[in-house]
Structure 1
Amino acid sequence: MAAAVKVAVTDINAAGGVNGKPVVLVSRDSGDASTRTAEASFADLVKNHADVVVGPVSSALAQRLLDPAQKAGVPLISPAAGYPQLADQPDFFRTVPAFGHEGTVLGSLLPGKGAKEVVLVATQEALGASIAAPLKAALAAHGGTLAASITVPLSGANAAAIAGQAKAAAPDAVVLATPDNGNLSRSLITALSSAGLGGTKLWLTGQNMADYSQALQGGMLAGVRGILEGAAADAAFQAKLKGATSGLGSFAYAPETYDAVVLAALAADLAHDDAGPAVASHLVAASTGGIKCGSYAECVDVLRTEPDIDYDGLSGTLDLDRSDAPAVASYGVYAYDGSNKYARSGTVRF
């Protein structure tokens, strides 16, 4: 993701910069949720006159930076933070959709794969709850049915009883929406598999998709599938990323990160002003409604003769909606092998 920012800044400056001036990149560490590094780094970026901050990638850290960002008038654009609680927050934008959009994706995808009757097993908190309504609506629109929606406590869950409830609904597929790959997810995966609802019947979601090769019995996840937000980086973009940072082994969220930088630059061009409030007020306009363009250079060229643009980036058609997140997004479809590791098998956009 840091490499993607470098590549985007290089491309923008090669096209003449923003409002005729080169973009200056200042990078700081966000740390993790156990430290106050994010707050200290953000304060330092403000001190160094940052107009826009791309990040943080963690939803938990994004929540903590909302107040300082609003006070400083510096918009945050996250390429990976999916918490539903982050929607409609002043000065916060993202180039990935909120987690609940996975309900729309799965509800649109599963009936076409023969899964007409679907059971949702989701936690009670906001992350799990956000997927239920979109899943039900999308299934209905594509000839499917949400046969049951089973809520799970974050602690003290009776995994065997929950699997029994799911089995009683006789589903074609089970969607598991739990917040991580910890004990709760592992116990539910094990119980669902024992109840005959594993393999190709089980779908994981973006929060609990993980490498379970050391955590679960060998072969337990064979055939299990899942989705994870994020466009695939093509070979040309991968080469540019490797040129910016050697030794890269993953390209996750790189397209979304690149697009966050370009979108901010185009917003500043539209506003004729690179100050944070001006950028924030033009980000949505840069992503939708105008003349379509697919790169910073192309969009700047359009602006020479036209007043409005619609940037479609490496992650696809952005079209930021009222919640300041993409209305449509790319998702990888993944499949697990006998070692309980997953690999991307395709891409869908909903």
Structure 2
Amino acid sequence: MLRIGTLFPTTGATSFLGAAQVAGVNAAVREINAAGGFDGAPVEVVNRDSGDATTEKAEESFAALVEKGVDVIIGPSSSVLAERLLPRAIEAGIPLISPAATYPGVGTDAEGFFARTVPAYPLQGVALGELLTAQKAAEVALVVGTDDVSGSITPTLTESLSANGGELVVTATVADAAAVASAVSKVTTAKPDAVVLATPDNGDVTKALITALVKAGYGGTKLWLTSQNLADYSQALPAGTLKDVNGVLEGGRPDDAFIAKLKVEDPGLGDVRYAAEAYDATVIAALAAILAHDDGGASIAWKLGAVTQEGIRCSSFGECADVLSTEPDIAYEGVVGPLRFDAAGDPTRARYDVLTYNGENKAARTATTEG
């Protein structure tokens, strides 16, 4: 019997994200079982709370899931928690598939026991390079923070711009508020067509950078934010500051038909972030078990990549299971699109929402792209 554990935050600072992911897993399991389950038996789900990174709740819940005999765990949602739990997962032989952990390098040394259905942060550079050059922004400046995540976008943005006829002409690093003026001067001296702001949050340094860049003539469509600093700035900045500024957010909002599936599981569900990623993670785990002819954790880990890479394309558990009854290879393309896991379990293709700010400094989706 395939037993799936979940580790999502139902308490703590990120608890608002938990319900959608639980609904995504439950929706997938409902469809898997309707299609015959695994090896003729229904798939079971065991849910546990991950809490947030300020507590040891994730470790306690992981131990409880091991005791329950789960074969694979969907979660955690946090990159920090994923890094903390990976040594335990490897020791227990239970793969983790995270729907929301975006830090680069999380699964590098995971021995196949980590995958994620959300793209790692650096992949945004691919999408941004394509979007910017399509806007005729041939010369681009990048402003990053001193943290490892912010700077990780530099190589992918550089390569994507170059591949599409553009160039990263300058990169400025900002450690604190005192460095804002120097960074903006470095940008304006280079006279780029557009600026990508890749700071780690929406705090005071980011707000100061936005204000200074807009004042220097790099507001509106010339300024792009990344998922780390996208936020509602309606109370933080004067009205109109961010008008027509764009940003990218990993995931892409699922369609109404998928949201209706989620509402079957949780009629009161509001925010649906990461539900699609949790759904696809669950389907991939079940398909990996079928491909391995075994529901053991090590066998699932061994086949996670193979489910998404090369083979006959299929877009649901039932369709993919039918293909596997006669063919050895599939390429699952689910709600979040083609993932094409690499050796570290990272998606090499991903879907992004393009968001545009209005005069009230609030962002709304205006397009979807892949990168």
Unaligned runs of at least 5 residues, structure 1: none
Aligned residues: 349
Give the equivalent residue in structure 2 for 1:265: 286
Give the equivalent residue in structure 1 for 2:147: 125
1:137 aligns with 2:156: no
1:101 aligns with 2:152: no
Unaligned runs of at least 5 residues, structure 2: 1-20
Among candidates 308, 331, 344, match of residue 352 of structure 2: 331
| Equivalent residue letter for 2:320 | C
Shift of 1:156: 5.0
Q: Which segments of structure 1 move beyond 6 Å, counting only runs of 4 or more? A: none
TM-score w.r.t. the length of structure 1 is 0.97
- Structure 1 Cα separation of the partners of residues 360 and 39 of structure 2: 52
Among candidates 155, 176, 200, match of residue 221 of structure 2: 200
1:181 aligns with 2:202: yes
CA contact (8 A) 1:175 1:205 kept: yes
Give the equivalent residue in structure 2 for 1:22: 42
TM-score w.r.t. the length of structure 2 is 0.91
Shift of 1:287: 1.1
1:237 aligns with 2:258: yes
- Structure 2 Cα separation of the partners of residues 87 and 136 of structure 1: 24
Shift of 1:250: 2.2
- Structure 2 Cα separation of the partners of residues 9 and 330 of structure 1: 23
**How do residues 1-350 of structure 1 correspond to structure 2 at under 5 angstroms?**
1-90=21-110, 91-153=113-175, 155-350=176-371
- Structure 1 Cα separation of the partners of residues 195 and 301 of structure 2: 40
Shift of 1:157: 4.1
Give the equivalent residue in structure 1 for 2:16: none
CA contact (8 A) 2:197 2:223 kept: yes
Shift of 1:136: 0.9
Query: Counterpart of 1:27 in 2: which secondary structure?
Result: strand
- Structure 2 Cα separation of the partners of residues 185 and 248 of structure 1: 32
Using the aligned pairs only, state the percent identity: 53
- Structure 1 Cα separation of the partners of residues 256 and 181 of structure 2: 45
User: What whole-Å deviation, never above 9, does each CA across 1:246-292 have from its counterpart, x for those lacking one?
Assistant: 22222222222111000000000111111111100001111121221
Shift of 1:17: 0.5
Shift of 1:177: 0.7
| Equivalent residue letter for 1:125 | D
CA contact (8 A) 1:87 1:98 kept: no
